[in-house]
Amino acid sequence: MTNEDFAKKIRDIRQRQDMSVEELAERSGVKQEVLEAMEAGEVIPSLTPLTKMARALGVRLGTFLDDTPELGPVVTRGGKTENSLYFSGREDVTNATNLEFHSLGAGKIDRNIDPFMIDIDYEEGEKELSSHEGEEFIYVLEGEIEVIYGKDSYAIGVGDTIFYDSAVPHHLHASNRNGAKILAVLYTPY
């Protein structure tokens, strides 16, 4: 799925529900300008606005990433899907990417969780925390990440896991320029 396909999917879901961009902005708390740019394929969203949009639209987060529906099991070989999407790790920066998402459940229409393999590039500068409903389970496969969770910070290395409530403001990033690879399982109620 390309970023253009992703933008079209968001627009189609919103339009099928007969919801205007203004209504979605009001219900989700995501700025209207960001929604419009996202639907035009001009910006790369972070997970926080996507989660807020999914909730406002009454769909799972993974619905934005699904390609074809599958009723049976979904098998992903080697931890990489054919299609990947690139997201910003920050809600306020939508024109840069540092997260490459490989959905491991894309197409499974009756799922309640969204598993992802995520390649994380190093990110310089101040980290802005964001929050959304749900829970996140992270398992580090390569490298090291730092998870800022509220006022605390956790260094998570290869083989380590962290499981947290996404409603607490948080930020996840690679600890050094070598980047990192994680398995992330997200639960976002809708």
Domain boundaries, the chain: 3-64, 85-187
The amino acid at 166: S
Q: Tally Cβ neighbours within 10 Å of residue 165.
A: 13
**Confidence category of residue 135, pLDDT binned at 50, 70, 90:** very high
Select from 3.30.590.20, 3.90.1010.10, 3.40.50.740, 1.10.260.40 the CATH code of 3-64.
1.10.260.40
pLDDT at position 69 over 60: no
The Cα 179–Cα 19 span in angstroms is 39
The Cα 27–Cα 8 span in angstroms is 20
pTM over 0.85: no
pLDDT at position 81 over 70: no
3-state secondary structure labels for all residues of the chain: CCHHHHHHHHHHHHHHCCCCHHHHHHHHCCCHHHHHHHHCCCCCCCHHHHHHHHHHHCCCHHHHCCCCCECCCCCCCCCCCCCCEEECCCCCCCCCCCEEEEECCCCECCCCCEEEEEEECCCCCCCCCECCCCEEEEEEEEECEEEEECCEEEEECCCCEEEEECCCCEEEEECCCCCEEEEEEEECCC
pLDDT value of position 121: 86
With 0-12 / 13-18 / 19 or more C-beta atoms within 10 angstroms meaning exposed / middle / buried, residue 60 is buried
Residue 36 CA: distances (Å) to CA of 45, 62, 95, 130, 145: 11, 20, 14, 21, 32
pLDDT at position 171 over 50: yes
With 0-12 / 13-18 / 19 or more C-beta atoms within 10 angstroms meaning exposed / middle / buried, residue 125 is exposed
**For the ranges 16-20, 71-75, 99-103, 150-154, which has the lowest average pLDDT?**
71-75
CATH 2.60.120.10 at 85-187, yes or no: yes
